[in-house]
Amino acid sequence: MTRRSAGPPPPSEGAGPALRRTRLPPGPGGFSRHEARRPGYFTRSDPYTRCRIITMNGIEVEAILVGHQFARHTTDPEIKRQLARVRYLEARQ
């Protein structure tokens, strides 16, 4: 068994011509879209800030899921009405 290197297959193997990887021509500024891409905010911040961002994103998603499940499984219409109002207000922020 031979080992293959990572990367696109040679033109004679693999996918047809429509699925082969091709590089886009440079745009009007002389840069390809890969060269013109700016790095995200994760590269401009320290690891502590990145950890806080990821953690807060997870907390917010989990709060949305818990509120949704609680509203589905409760039988009290007043609680459902209050939860719907809270979800409505949070969606507008």
In tens, the pLDDT along 18-67 reads 666 666 666 666 666 666 666 666 667 788 888 898 899 999 999 889 98
Domain coverage including residue 60? 29-91
Between CA 51 and CA 62, with CA 56 as vertex, the angle to 5 degrees is 130
Per-residue confidence at 73, pLDDT binned at 50, 70, 90?
very high
pLDDT at 85: 93
The pTM for the full model equals 0.48
12, pLDDT greater than 60: no
Is residue 75 a part of any domain in this protein?
Answer: yes
Both tokens of 76, joined, read: 């009290």
Q: Write out the two tokens for 45.
A: 């911040």
Q: How far apart are CA 69 and CA 36, in angstroms?
A: 43
86 falls within a domain: yes
Whether 5 is in a domain gets the answer: no
